[in-house]
Structure 1
Amino acid sequence: MEIIINGETKTLSPMSVTELLGSLGIDPRRVAVELNLDILPKGNYESTQLAAGDRIEIVHFVGGG
């Protein structure tokens, strides 16, 4: 299936948001995920299955001081 991640089209097997983040080497505790223009609560990452045509934006938190 094809989905769009941060503006880039990717071809992936069906998976959950948690599995997607793991496959990208991203710690789910350090990002926010937007799915089809809606912020996805962290508690829903595991149960949310991606579908063809989904648009994902992954926003990384960066500390500073």
Structure 2
Amino acid sequence: MRIIANQIPRELPSNSRITDLLVMIEAKPPYAVAVNLQFVPKTRHAEYILQDNDQVEIIAPVTGG
């Protein structure tokens, strides 16, 4: 299955979850995740099944002053 993660095409097995993608890209917390412009709470990452052509954004918080 093909998804776009942070504007980069990725291939994942069918029925992959957000947590599978996060492991694949070695994401380091803290971060927020949106799928097709919809925020997905961290408590749902392990159960949220990605679909072919989903657009996923993994967003790190910005700090500074």
TM-score of the two chains, using structure 1 as the length reference: 0.83
Query: Higher helix proportion, which one?
Result: 1
- Runs of 4+ aligned residues of structure 1 deviating over 4 Å after TM superposition are none
Alignment gaps of 5+ in structure 1: none
1:36-58: CA deviation from partner (whole Å, max 9, x where unpaired)? 11011111000001110100011
1:36 is aligned to 2:36: yes
Q: Aligned Cα RMSD in Å?
A: 1.4
Q: How does 1:1-65 map to 2 (within 5 A)?
A: 1-14=1-14, 15-27=16-28, 29-64=29-64
Q: Distance in 1 between matches of 2:64 and 2:22?
A: 24
The percentage of aligned residue pairs carrying the same residue is: 33
Amino acid at match of 2:23: G
Amino acid at match of 2:21: L
Query: What SS is found at the alignment partner of 2:26?
Result: coil
TM-score of the two chains, using structure 2 as the length reference: 0.83
**How many residue pairs are counted as aligned between the two chains?**
64
Query: What SS is found at the alignment partner of 1:30?
Result: coil
